[in-house]
Amino acid sequence: MKKGKCMKDVMVYGLSTVSDKGQIAIPVVIRRELDLKKGDKLLIIKRSDNAGFTFIKLDLMDKLMDKIRSDEKFFEKLG
């Protein structure tokens, strides 16, 4: 891992511009912090208030889905 300033409490990592093809670049600081690599898949979830979206690494979602599938009482916990 590269050394640099601690970004633990940073909320804003920079700006991205949507290209004419609808593409955006993820700032290098956040790519390093989240260990994003070329080819990584990201799940995109739209915010309910239409203010934007959230990216989640797909391999983390796979782990969550495995936990849900193996927890027989998961849906009972939802209420």
pLDDT tens-digit profile of 8-38? 677 788 889 999 999 999 999 889 989 999 9
- On whether the pTM is more than 0.85, the answer is no
Instruction: Determine the Cα–Cα distance for residues 6 and 2; give it in Å rounded to an integer.
Output: 11
Residue 39 Rama label (left phi>0; alpha psi -120 to 50; beta): left
Domain ranges of the chain: 40-77
Under 8 Å CB-to-CB from 34, ≥6 apart: which residues? 57
Give the pLDDT mean for 54-70.
88
| pLDDT recorded at residue 7 | 59
The span from the CA of 53 to the CA of 46, in Å, is: 4
